[in-house]
Structures are given as C-alpha cells and as structure tokens.
C-alpha cells in the first residue's frame, strides 16, 4: 500500500513536472503567438469577410450572391490582363534571374579570384536601394529623352528616340530588366552561402575522377544546392506575384494597362480613382494568396526528392 | 522545483516586459506624434476657438491662395488663424478622405479639405456624414460660373466653395506658328480637321508637336466633348458606342497622333517636364492651371499666346478641366466659423476681391467668381503671354463653358478611354475599342452599385 502510494505520488509528481514544463513552453510561445495572431491572422480573417461584401467602403453590405466578388473576377478583362502580365514577368524573369545568380555565385566563389569582396558588394548593392528609388531611376534612364535613348541614337543603333515605356513590348522588357538588376544580387547571396557549405574536397575528388567544370556544376553543385534553389524559387515566385512598385512607378501600369500587375490592380480598386471598392480588392487579394500557396506547394513537391 | 519556478517567473517576466515594452512604446509614440505634420490624424480639439485646419497640396498654387484668404479674414477677425496642413500631392487628400470614410472615423480629417471637383459627387454619396452642406452660407452662387458650381451641388444642395478655375485654354507658341506661316488668329475658331492640317505643317517646319497630353490620364476626350456640349455619360450610364460625337472626337485624337500633331506622353511628369518644359511642343491645351508649368521656361517668355479650343464644326470651343473646391468636413465643430470664413473670402464676400487678387499674384490661381475679372490685377497684361490680359480673358471664357452630365465614374471612364485611344492609334478598330471601354465602365458601375 505504502509502496503503491509512493509510486503513485512520484508519478503524479512526474506528470505535474511535465505539465509545468509544457506550461513554460506555452508561456514562451504566447507573446509571439498572440502578436502574430493579432497583427497578421486577424486582419486576414477580416479581409476574407470583407471579400464577401460589396458597396462603398463606409457602408459594406453582404454581397448577393455571397460569392459575387469572386465570380465577378472571371468576367473582369482587366484582372485577367493583370494575371497574364504577372505570370509573364514570373515565367520570363525568375528563371533568368536564378540562373544568373547561380552563375555569378559560382564565379565569385572561385578561391583564386581577386577583389572578391568588391565584386560581391557591387552585385549585392542594388538590393540595398529603395524600390521606389530604383524604379524612378530606371524610368528616367528609359524616358523618351533619357540616357539610353541618347546613347543608342548617338551610336547609330536607333534612328530617332524610341518611347520605351510607352510601347507594350519594350515596357515589359524594361520592367524585367529592372527586376533583374534589383534582385539577382539578392539571390546570389543565398547561393554563395550555400556554396560555402559544400566541402572543397568534394570538388577535388571529382577533379581526380576526371569531371570537367560543367559536369561538376551539374552533378555536384546543383544537387547540393537544391534546398537553397527551392527556397529562392519560392521567394521569387512569391515576390513576383506581389509585384507592385515597378508597375506603379515605372509605367503606372501603362500603356493601356498592358503592364499592370495584380497587386497594382488591387491597389487601384482600393485607393485609385476614388473608387474604394474594398470588397472586390480583398477578393482579388485572396485569389493571389491562393495562387502563391499553390505554386509554393508544387515547388516543394517537385523539389522534394526524399522518397 | 525551485529551478522550474524560476523558469516560470523568468518567462512570465519576459512576457510582461514585452507587453509593457509595447505599451510604453505606443504611449511615447503618441506623445511625440502630436506634431502637426503627422498626416495620419489631425487633432482639431487642440485648436483654439478661432482656428481652422485645412488640407491642401500645392505650395506654388493653392496654398498661397489659402494664405491670401487667411490674411483677408484676419482683417475682420484679427484672432483668426488658418492651420494649413500641406500634403505632398492631391491624391494624398483623396486617400485621407477614403480612409476616414472607410473607417467611419472622421476625426482624422481637418475642418476643411481641398480636393479635385470630380470626386465630390461620389464622396457625398459614399460618405454622407463626412460633409456639411453650406446652403445656409452667405453666398450669391449666381456670381460663379455655373459649370464650376455644378460639381459641388449634389441633389440641389451646395457643399463646396470654388477656389480655382478649370477653364481650358489653348496656348500656342506664336513664333513657331509663324515659321509655318500661321498666326494666332489662324488657329482661333477652327475645326479639328483644319487644326490637323496646320499641325502637320508646323511639325514639318519645326519638328514640334502642336498639341500634347498625358496619354495615361488622357483628358482630351473629356475636354473636346465638353466643347461640343456632349458628355461621355447619359442618364448615369457610360455612353460611348452610340455617341457619334464621341466616336468622331476619338477618331480625331487618333488621327492627330498618327500625323505627329499630337504627342501623348507616358505619364504626368513626362507631359510637364519633357513635353512642355523640354520644348517638344508648339501648343498646350489644358485647364488654365497648366499656365505656371508653361511659365517655368523663362527663355520662352513673350512667345506664348492663348485662345479658345478648336471644335468639330469650327466654332470657338470652351471647356473646363480640373480645378478644386473647399469642403467642410463632418469633423468640423466650428461650422459657423468655417462657413463665415469661406463665404467672406472665396465665396464672394467683402474679403473676396483681396483674396482672389492675392491668390492670383502669389499663386497664379484664377477664380470663377465673375466679379474677380473686373479687378486691376486681372486686367493686367501678362508679359510671358505677349502682354495679353490672359486672366480676364480666362474668366470671360469660363462663362461660355457648357454644363454637361457628370458622373462618379469620371476617372474610371478616363482610364478606359485612354487605353482605348492607345490601342486605336496602334491600329485597332474604334468601334470595338469603345465598346470594350464602355463594357469596362459598366462593369465597374455594376460592381460598385451591387
């Protein structure tokens, strides 16, 4: 009896210690959890509720039917155009940028390269500039009377000044160029960090086995960098789908809305032109959210080679 | 056991300190945030009894006008003070209104706001509590241009005090016209076809465009239609496709652009900095508030002159574009003072002549108040415009502007029609592009009214 009592007692004590530990864990987590919930999740829930409503922002009513804002989107030519533009940037720009970043990282990881620090800084520097600032600089560079036009005309490549930002095709190219300039260095830094984690002896072993540079790159560097590549992919997709500053500041979505991005269109619906169509804008935000989630999920599945 | 207790206490202390940290942060923020330049909110309760706050945005234009009004009213009441809160651009004022209206918290608004006339209709419908009617103010509304007052009169009630004047001027570089063999009289009271002909000759001789506009916020269709007395709207609906005048006007714009008579800039700064100030053009047509922009180029002084617009038929055209008014917000607790101040100054009261004269001298703000045109300041010739008395001319021109149907969806229509024009210049079919634009405006209206 007594023994049993003691045993019971210790078990009880043991349990309560575990309970206290658990409580301590929760106590540590609580502040951050509460803040994230209040600052991020609560507004998301509110935005979802708002996406089911219509009317002026001061007087929102439940939409009739409740999915009105969501079904409306598929008839909205401008929204479809914005989705097309965004995916156009995504499909063209992200692969070019990541390949460039990985090549630059490879170059700058060379042990024998001189002025490594200087080159790394120069390539990384664009991403320390403000988004609005660099967009405005690109705008003045590519203006009809801007530097690029001046140089091209003087070199005889162009006959007369070309309206780069006023023509659909070239305006899109300028946006992609701007994005490449701004973000390649940023991704390169991740690859550099990844490369630094690869033992040099692995490369030496490959060299001894007779692998050339190309083979080493494809069969050693890329597989060992896989986690980094996946991460940069997800971040780039996420970033491109939310592209806003370049569209607003470089081209204002023009000409004829042919370079507008989804986020820019969402902004126009909430603040542009005094419209204040917050219900519709929230609904579009949710669709963008779902797109990002799906793409990230696919990316994770494709990149996951564990099975 | 003691260790666990210590852990708990530490965790608790951390949580508390974090919360406390946040708390003290916010309180110190709100202390330091009481400065008047904090645009997020205006503390009207801290003002004196004789003080009013107002949002405006242009240091060279409407802020001198407000200062002039303050000085004029101080003669009536020396204790009066106007607290002018400068915003960086007009859309900042509009965003502040949208934000206050959406949250239902009008305490963030100042007593008076200044914003562009095309917005007020929509704002009164969307946020009725945000505004105070000024029907009972001591103002003779007939002294103002009827077209200007039509914006701020909603369902028969007056809401705004007009400040500036949007009457459209067509300014020409007479020296460039001369090189092509024309004078200012040759371009007054002509048809757009004739204008196209002259424009081609000017471009050939001088390499300058005879007309320019911001192709993104393209106000040409609106102005050209108003000069014909036609609106883009009919009974509250977009009226593009079956509107023959509109089809003709759009075709004229496309033709002018294709003939190198019209330069469509990519955006506003391209329009003002490159096209106008960069000496790319021989003509500018816009609301007369564009004059200070033209005057920035000192070496062209004396070469410009203004006249009326061309029309489809060839009679002299008059239109109005842009311009803003002052509105008393729902947050204003001193509505009587605000009404008295505005009626005394901008509303044509005893201080009006002084206000408008100083506003013109210091900020280039031209009034729509008919009596303002009689003052000496308005009659004076302006050196930059070859000593033409442009201000009284503009006030006179303003009286001819026809009133056309306005819509809450003015800017939506402008965006869509601008896109259509862009495509038409590139060779798309006018009818189908206008149909598309009309569908888009209908679509926006349907969403807003559901």
Q: Give mean pLDDT, residues A87-104.
A: 92
B372 neighbors B354 (Cβ within 8 angstroms): no
Of residues B244, B242, B245, the one with CA closest to residue B225 = B245
B415 neighbors B214 (Cβ within 8 angstroms): no
Say yes or no for a CB contact (<8 Å) between A54 and B419: no
Segments making up each domain of chain A, as ranges:
2-51, 77-303
Domain A77-303 CATH class label: mainly alpha
Tell me if the bond preceding B11 is cis, omega within 30° of 0.
no
How many degrees, rounded to 5, is the angle at CA A34 between CA A31 and CA A37? Answer: 145
Fold (topology level) of B168-319+403-449: D-Maltodextrin-Binding Protein; domain 2 (3.40.190)
Q: Which residue pairs, CB below 8 angstroms and at least 24 apart, start in A119-127? A: A120/A189, A120/A192, A123/A184, A123/A185, A123/A188, A124/A185, A124/A186, A124/A188, A124/A189, A125/A185, A126/A181, A126/A182, A126/A183, A126/A184, A126/A185, A127/A182, A127/A183, A127/A185, A127/A186
Segments making up each domain of chain B, as ranges:
44-166+322-374, 168-319+403-449
Distance CA B131, CA B111 (A): 10
Query: What CA–CA distances, in Å, run from A48 to A53, A55, A275?
Result: 9, 15, 20
Percent of chain B whose predicted confidence (pLDDT) is above 90: 41
**Which residues of B189-290 form beta strands (DSSP E)?**
211-214, 233-234, 237-238, 262-265, 283-287
Answer whether residue A67 shows pLDDT above 90. no
Q: Does A76 touch chain B (CB under 8 A)?
A: yes
Confidence of residue A222 (pLDDT cuts 50, 70, 90): confident
Of residues B342, B172, B314, B167, the one with CA closest to residue B252 = B314
Confidence of residue A221 (pLDDT cuts 50, 70, 90): confident
Check residue B30 and give its pLDDT. Answer: 36
Check residue B305 and give its pLDDT. Answer: 93
A148 neighbors A141 (Cβ within 8 angstroms): yes
Residues 6+ apart with CB under 8 A from A269: A275, A277, A278, A280, A281, A284
Distance CA A214, CA A207 (A): 11
Q: Does A28 touch chain B (CB under 8 A)?
A: yes
What are phi and psi for residue B115, nearest 5 degrees? -150, 175
Interface test with A, best of B4, B7, B8, B11 (most A CBs within 10 A): B11
pLDDT tens across B46-86, in order?
Answer: 667 889 999 998 888 889 999 999 999 999 899 999 999 99
Closest partner CB to B419 (pick from A17, A75, A257):
A257
SS3 at position B254? helix
Q: Does A59 touch chain B (CB under 8 A)?
A: yes
Q: A-chain residues within 8 Å CB-CB of B415?
A: 257, 273
Closest partner CB to A27 (pick from B8, B266, B444):
B8
Closest partner CB to B7 (pick from A24, A257, A280):
A24
Say yes or no for a CB contact (<8 Å) between A271 and B126: no
Looking at the DSSP bridge assignments, the partners of residue B86 are: B56
Instruction: Write the ipTM.
Output: 0.71
In chain B, which stretches have pLDDT less than 70?
1-47, 448-450
Check residue B28 and give its pLDDT. Answer: 36
The CATH number fitting domain B44-166+322-374, selected from 3.40.50.300, 3.40.190.10, 3.30.470.10, 2.40.160.40: 3.40.190.10
Closest partner CB to B216 (pick from A23, A31, A254):
A254
SS3 at position A306? coil
Tell me if the bond preceding B389 is cis, omega within 30° of 0.
no
Nearest CA in chain A to B436: A77
Tokens 């024309």 belong to B182
pLDDT tens across B357-413, in order?
Answer: 999 988 888 888 888 888 888 888 888 999 999 998 998 888 889 988 888 888 889
Q: Give mean pLDDT, residues A218-225.
A: 86
Percent of chain A whose predicted confidence (pLDDT) is above 70: 92
Say yes or no for a CB contact (<8 Å) between A31 and B14: yes
pLDDT tens across A168-209, in order?
Answer: 889 999 999 999 999 999 999 999 999 888 888 888 888 888
pLDDT tens across A12-33, in order?
Answer: 666 688 888 888 888 999 999 9
pLDDT tens across A28-52, in order?
Answer: 999 999 999 999 999 999 999 988 9
Chain A neighbours among B 250-269 (CB < 8 Å)?
A: 264-267
Q: Does A257 touch chain B (CB under 8 A)?
A: yes
Tally C-beta pairs within 8 A across A and B: 113
Q: Give mean pLDDT, residues A113-122.
A: 86
Please tell me chain B's helix, strand, coil percentages from 3-state DSSP, rounded to the nearest 5. Answer: 50, 15, 30
Q: Does A256 touch chain B (CB under 8 A)?
A: yes
């Amino acid at each position: 009896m007594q023994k049993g009592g003691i045993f019971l007692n210790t078990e009880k004590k043991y349990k309560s210690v575990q309970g206290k530990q658990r409580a301590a864990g929760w106590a540590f987590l609580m502040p951050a959890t509460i803040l994230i919930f209040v600052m991020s999740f609560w507004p998301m829930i509110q935005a979802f509720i708002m996406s089911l409503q219509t009317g002026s922002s001061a007087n929102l009513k439940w939409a009739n039917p409740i999915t009105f804002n969501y079904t409306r989107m598929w008839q909205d030519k401008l929204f479809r155009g914005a989705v097309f533009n965004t995916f156009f940037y995504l499909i063209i720009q992200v692969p070019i940028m990541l390949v460039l970043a990985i090549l630059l990282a490879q170059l700058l990881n060379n042990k024998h390269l001189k002025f490594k620090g200087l080159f790394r800084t120069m390539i990384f520097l664009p991403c320390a500039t403000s988004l609005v600032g660099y967009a405005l600089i690109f705008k003045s560079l590519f203006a009809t009377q801007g530097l690029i036009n001046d140089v091209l005309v003087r070199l005889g490549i162009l006959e007369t000044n070309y309206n780069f930002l006023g023509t659909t095709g070239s305006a899109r190219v300028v946006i992609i160029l701007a994005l490449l300039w701004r973000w390649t260095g940023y991704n390169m830094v991740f690859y550099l960090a990844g490369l630094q984690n690869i033992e040099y002896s692995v490369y030496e072993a490959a060299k001894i086995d007779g692998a050339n540079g190309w083979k080493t790159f494809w069969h050693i560097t890329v597989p060992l960098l896989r986690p980094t590549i996946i991460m940069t992919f997800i971040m780039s997709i996420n970033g491109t789908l939310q592209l806003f500053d370049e569209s607003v500041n470089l081209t204002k979505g023009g000409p004829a809305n042919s370079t507008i991005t989804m986020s820019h269109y969402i902004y126009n619906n909430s603040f542009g032109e005094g419209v204040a169509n917050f219900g519709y804008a929230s609904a579009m935000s949710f669709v963008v959210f779902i797109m990002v989630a799906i793409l990230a999920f696919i990316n994770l599945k494709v990149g996951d080679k564990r099975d | 056991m003691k260790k666990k207790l210590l852990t708990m206490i530490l965790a608790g202390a951390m949580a508390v300190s974090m919360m406390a940290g946040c708390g003290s942060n916010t309180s110190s923020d709100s202390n330091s945030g009481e400065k008047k330049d904090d645009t997020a909110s205006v503390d009207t309760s801290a003002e004196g009894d004789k003080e009013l706050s107002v949002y405006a945005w242009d240091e060279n234009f409407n802020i001198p006008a407000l200062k002039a009004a303050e000085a004029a009213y101080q003669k009536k009441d020396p204790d009066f003070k106007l607290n002018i809160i400068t915003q960086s651009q007009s859309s900042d004022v509009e965003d502040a209104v949208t934000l206050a209206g959406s949250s239902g918290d009008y305490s963030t608004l100042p007593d008076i706001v200044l914003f562009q006339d095309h917005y007020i209709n929509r704002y009164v419908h969307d946020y009725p509590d945000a505004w105070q009617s000024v029907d009972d103010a001591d103002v003779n509304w007939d002294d103002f241009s009827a077209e200007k007052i039509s914006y701020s009169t909603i369902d028969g009630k007056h809401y705004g005090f007009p400040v500036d004047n949007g009457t459209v001027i067509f300014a020409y570089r007479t020296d460039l016209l001369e090189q092509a063999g024309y004078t200012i009289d040759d371009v007054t009271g002509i048809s757009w076809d004739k204008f196209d002909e002259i424009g081609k000759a000017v471009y050939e001789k001088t390499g300058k465009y005879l007309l320019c506009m911001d192709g993104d916020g393209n106000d040409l269709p609106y102005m050209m239609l108003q000069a014909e007395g036609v609106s883009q709207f009919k009974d509250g609906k977009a009226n593009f496709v079956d509107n023959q005048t509109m089809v003709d006007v759009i075709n004229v714009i496309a033709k002018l652009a294709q003939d190198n008579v019209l330069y469509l800039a990519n955006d506003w700064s391209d329009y003002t900095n490159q096209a106008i100030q960069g000496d790319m053009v021989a003509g500018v047509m816009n609301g007369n508030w564009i004059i200070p922009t033209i005057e920035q180029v000192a070496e062209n002084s004396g070469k410009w002159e203004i006249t009326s617009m061309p029309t489809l038929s060839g009679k002299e055209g008059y239109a109005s574009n842009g311009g803003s008014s002052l509105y008393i917000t729902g947050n204003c607790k001193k509505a009587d003072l605000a009404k008295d101040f505005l009626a005394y100054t901008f509303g044509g009261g005893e201080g009006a002549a002084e206000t408008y004269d100083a506003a013109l001298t210091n900020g280039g703000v031209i009034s729509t108040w008919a009596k303002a045109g009689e003052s000496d300041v308005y009659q004076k010739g302006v050196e930059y415009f070859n000593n033409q008395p442009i201000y009284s001319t503009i006030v006179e021109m303003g009286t001819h502007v026809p009133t056309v149907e306005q819509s809450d969806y003015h800017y939506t229509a402008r965006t869509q029609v601008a896109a259509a024009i862009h495509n038409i210049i590139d060779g798309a079919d006018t009818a189908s592009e206008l149909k598309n634009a009309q569908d888009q405006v209908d679509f926006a209206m349907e969403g807003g009214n559901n």
